[in-house]
Structure 1
Amino acid sequence: MKIQQIPLEKQITYMIDITTNIPVIVYVNDIKASELNMPLGTAIDLNPYVLKNGKCKIKLQIFPLFRKGDTLVTVENIMRCNLFFGSYIRNKETDKILNYKADVALPIVAPKEDVPYFEQEWEVELTELPYELEGWSKGQDLRKWDKKELEKKVVAYYQKLWSILNNGEGERWTKLTQKRINETAIFYYESQEENQKAIKNNQQNIVKYCTNMMIPLEDYEMKLYAEGKLVCLERKTHTKEFNNKSPLDIKGWSPLILKGKKSGAGYYNVLLYLPQGSNEFVIIRK
């Protein structure tokens, strides 16, 4: 793919700046964008989850702290979540962040007492993206499928991906993820050289780390995102440790998990869509 170069001053990345003392989950346009097992004090890029300028939905979810055995989310923890909408430009040659703005507050409306679960939504406006992507916009509404039939089809696709990773077939993985690679190059403003380097590194990592190191495809549940346009599998059970590493909770991970050679693990996340008129899944995002 020939990548069109966007001038640096127009390479806008929109983001949500979050400061919190507890793990939270953030959704962007009904797509899970963050689920971390540590306090989150960072920026979540919105570009991977939007296709063009316009309104964008942000949702925050907070659950009781699994590791502490909590059954309630405290008012104090909810009120200590601070969210701001903004944007920045990254100069990749110097790795410096330019024009960082996080000045649109997304105020929390906390309950008056502790609750089993907390959720809040906001809407923000994107106006300066210099591109428009097709993404999953022409995907089928998978909510209309029979759930068992859909899950059988999704699991079969994941089994194929598992075999490709476990066999260390980096080039075959690249072919299946080509549309994702192409769109990622656009929304992260990659140069041709950066794009080719990333592809090469990913292929080498699959050979080096995945070959005969993938754990069995198990303990998963199907999840629909983007109002039914995207589907994936996620691990459904909490863990306190995994592969000699503690703490390590793999709930919510993709079940395409590779064990570290000494300890720990990593995973390959895929979001699938089914183009209209097609019966073949396409990998479109992580």
Structure 2
Amino acid sequence: MIHQVAKEKQITYSISATATIPVVIYFNDIKVSEENTPLNSSIDVNGYALKNGKYKIKIQIFPVFRRGDTTVSPEDIKSCQFSFGSFTRDRATGDILNPKTYSELSLKAPNAPVPYFEQEWEVEIKDLPYELEGWSKGQDLSKMDKKELEKRVVSFHEKVRDILDQGNGDKWGDMTKKRAQETAVFYYSNNEQHQTSVSENTANVAKYCKGMMVPLEDYELKLYAEGKLATLERKNHTMEFNNKSPLDIKGWGALIRKGQKSGAADYRILLYLPPNSNDFIIVRK
């Protein structure tokens, strides 16, 4: 059973982003933007804030790879706009209610072009009506031997890739159980909505992933949340992928499903090791 929160307290914190050049956004030392791409959206961060408190936002701005740019101009940086705020959502209609802006994340652009730009801010979350365990008790993976850690993370990804490629939605559901349970909490789902989401995710693996997963390749190990989370991400730019151009998959999760006709989607998994355990658990995406 999921504890139900009164609608007026179902607060979602978010980062609003408008950028015509590639940006990557981090919250609580976790990459929360989907990929290295221009953005014109609001990114929910409830899933990466386990409780009320102070958090860091970091934004990186990069040159436009498909244009062949090697630097970012001060004008491009100044054209980007970011802010931190919150809202509530009508789950029946999807409408955004009671939007608030707490911080305009103003950029301090340099005076000359740079290879990339980075800036950080501290923000505070005060009104979450829940507290999640998440990865808070996880082992510090940064203290492990990097080669051994990468070997184990790759092995886990290979196992998950095989499950997805077999279309085994039930096994995928078992492996993502903790993630689904905590997602229901921070997304304010009721029990029926949670069960529907789990069923749909299970069915989609059988429908879309069977025989469609690309090989696990061109990856690099990434650690987030001050060393408590690990994943694999694609490390090189692409100009096109699976008959879609332009499509740059640099920074995507290494588990990638081809689209039926063109394009692709990734199944990013963030892993943590509980205390006194050698078995990774999928906790976020």
Q: Do both proteins adopt the same fold according to a TM-score greater than 0.5, normalized to the shorter chain?
A: yes
1:32 matched to 2:31: yes
Q: Percent identity?
A: 60
Out of 35-44 and 203-212, give the one that drifted further.
35-44
Q: CA deviation at 1:268?
A: 0.6
Query: Which residue of 1 is the match for residue 219 of structure 2?
Result: 220
Q: CA deviation at 1:127?
A: 0.3
TM-score, structure 1 normalization: 0.97
Checking the alignment, whether the CA contact within 8 Å between 1:23 and 1:35 is kept in structure 2 is: no
Whole-Å separation in 2 of the counterparts to 1:141 and 1:222: 15
Q: Structure 2: which 5+ residue stretches go unaligned?
A: none
Whole-Å separation in 1 of the counterparts to 2:102 and 2:16: 9
Q: 1:1-286 maps to which residues of 2 (within 5 A)?
A: 2-36=1-35, 38-286=37-285
Whole-Å separation in 2 of the counterparts to 1:195 and 1:269: 20
Whole-Å separation in 2 of the counterparts to 1:120 and 1:230: 22
Checking the alignment, whether the CA contact within 8 Å between 1:59 and 1:119 is kept in structure 2 is: yes
Whole-Å separation in 2 of the counterparts to 1:264 and 1:41: 20
Structure 2 counterpart of 1:8, which letter? K
Whole-Å separation in 1 of the counterparts to 2:258 and 2:229: 27
Q: Structure 1: which 5+ residue stretches go unaligned?
A: none
TM-score, structure 2 normalization: 0.98
Out of 71-80 and 100-109, give the one that drifted further.
100-109
What are the superposed Cα offsets for residues 156-201 of structure 1, whole Å, 9 maximum, x if unpaired?
A: 1011101100111101111110000010000010111111111111
Whole-Å separation in 2 of the counterparts to 1:235 and 1:73: 22
Structure 1 counterpart of 2:267, which letter? Y
Whole-Å separation in 2 of the counterparts to 1:152 and 1:79: 41
Q: CA deviation at 1:80?
A: 1.2
Checking the alignment, whether the CA contact within 8 Å between 2:243 and 2:263 is kept in structure 1 is: yes
Out of 45-54 and 256-265, give the one that drifted further.
256-265
Structure 2 counterpart of 1:29, which letter? N
Checking the alignment, whether the CA contact within 8 Å between 1:238 and 1:249 is kept in structure 2 is: yes
Whole-Å separation in 2 of the counterparts to 1:19 and 1:209: 31
Structure 1 counterpart of 2:200, which letter? N
Out of 152-161 and 88-97, give the one that drifted further.
88-97
Whole-Å separation in 2 of the counterparts to 1:275 and 1:38: 33
Q: CA deviation at 1:35?
A: 4.1
Whole-Å separation in 1 of the counterparts to 2:208 and 2:15: 32
Q: CA deviation at 1:38?
A: 4.5
Q: CA deviation at 1:212?
A: 1.1
Checking the alignment, whether the CA contact within 8 Å between 1:17 and 1:102 is kept in structure 2 is: no
Q: CA deviation at 1:65?
A: 1.0
4+ runs of 1 displaced by more than 2 Å? Answer: 35-39
Paired residue secondary structure (2:21): coil
Checking the alignment, whether the CA contact within 8 Å between 2:21 and 2:62 is kept in structure 1 is: no
Distance change (3 Å), C-alpha of 1:58 and 1:37? closer
Whole-Å separation in 2 of the counterparts to 1:139 and 1:130: 23
Whole-Å separation in 1 of the counterparts to 2:37 and 2:140: 34
Whole-Å separation in 2 of the counterparts to 1:64 and 1:233: 23
> How many matched pairs?
285
Structure 1 counterpart of 2:234, which letter? R
Structure 2 counterpart of 1:133, which letter? L
Q: CA deviation at 1:94?
A: 2.6
Structure 1 counterpart of 2:107, which letter? I
Whole-Å separation in 1 of the counterparts to 2:253 and 2:52: 29
